Amino acid sequence: MNNELRACPVCGNGDALKLNIIGELKPTFHFVKNVIPTFKLVECLVCTTIYQTPLPSNEVFHELYIDTIQFTSDTYTGERSKMIVDYFKDCAQRMMKMMGKDSEVKVLEIGSGLSWMCKAVKELDDKSYTIAQDISPECRDICAWVDKYIVGSCEENYSLLDANGPFDIISITHVIEHLSYPLDFIMQIKPLLSWKGILLITAPYQPVGWKRDDNNIELWKAWLYNHVPGHLQYLTENSVQVISRISRLNILSYNNAHDGGQAFELMLSK
């Protein structure tokens, strides 16, 4: 296999003959130091996951997500913020209905940032218990609606998360695309779910109109969610099926029509 191509982060396919090289992308985070000049965008022909190769270094990862202030944009305030919280209220209500619960859910929000899911659940029922986790302390002191805000990775805080679980809702919002090994991560947090609990994943999907037959890299370059090297992979419906099968989590719902067809919503349960 070409040394520049990493194996598929979902199904593990490493056969270069079963990988479609869509093209090359340049970094979009120009403030990051020591990042390589180009990354390949690759489609796995086995499970259709689309991913970036090679992985960025640990130093680049740290600079992107820990050293950099992220939540200063107007996107995170005012009417836009209200729309986001309203969306998560709708998600929470749908999940609670599926679980047969109408109050007092226990929530873990991973990679939480401003902890919109926690806020939504608290607005629905202030007796619900919310835990937010993020590798950055940036938003820790401004999310008064969170009962416990944990700074650091899930791995290094796993015993603390486990002691506060199990959780009825685990929310991973626009986080899975940043993880080097998304399937491994899902397997790691699966035991934190309650028996009827639901794992909610939202993430970028792909540019509207992209097709393998065209292999148009220009669509990816112009895409709103083209974040290089921050976004490591984009899951498809086939990817989700593979994750469901290997993790033994049931797909309750999948919808890739969000944000005009640019993002997906996935709900999984035991």
139 domain-assigned: yes
Nearest by Cα to 203 from 259, 134, 138: 259
Helix or strand run (H / E) with residue 145: none
- Report the pLDDT averaged over residues 233-250: 97
* CATH code of the domain covering residue 95: 3.40.50.150
Split into its structural domains, the chain has a count of: 1
Question: What confidence tier does 230 reach under pLDDT thresholds 50, 70, 90?
Answer: very high
State the Cα–Cα distance between residues 47 and 35, nearest whole angstrom: 28
What would the 3-class secondary structure string for 21-72 be?
A: EEEEECCCCCCCCCCCCCEEEEEECCCCCEEEECCCCHHHHHHHHCCCCCCC
> Within 13 Å, how many C-alpha atoms sit on residue 37's CB side?
0
Query: Which position has the token pair 């729309």?
Result: 83
Nearest by Cα to 169 from 107, 79, 232, 245: 107
Percent of the chain scored above 70 by pLDDT? 95
What is the predicted pLDDT for the residue at 30?
79
8 domain-assigned: no
What is the predicted pLDDT for the residue at 150?
97
Contact 230, 64 (CB under 8 A): yes
Nearest by Cα to 119 from 88, 162, 160: 88
Beta bridge partners of 236: none
State the Cα–Cα distance between residues 147 and 116, nearest whole angstrom: 13
What is the predicted pLDDT for the residue at 183?
96
State the Cα–Cα distance between residues 195 and 269, nearest whole angstrom: 8
Domain span at 87: 79-205+243-269
263 domain-assigned: yes
248 domain-assigned: yes
Q: What is the mean pLDDT of the chain?
A: 93
25 domain-assigned: no
What is the predicted pLDDT for the residue at 24?
96
30 domain-assigned: no
Nearest by Cα to 199 from 248, 130, 118, 267: 267
What is the predicted pLDDT for the residue at 1?
40
Q: Where do the DSSP E strands lie in the chain?
A: 19-25, 39-44, 50-53, 106-110, 129-134, 148-151, 167-173, 193-204, 233-234, 250-258, 263-269
What's the pTM value of the predicted model, to 2 decimals?
0.93
193 domain-assigned: yes
Question: What confidence tier does 73 reach under pLDDT thresholds 50, 70, 90?
Answer: low
State the Cα–Cα distance between residues 116 and 248, nearest whole angstrom: 28
Side chain identity, residue 254: Y
221 domain-assigned: no
What is the predicted pLDDT for the residue at 2?
45
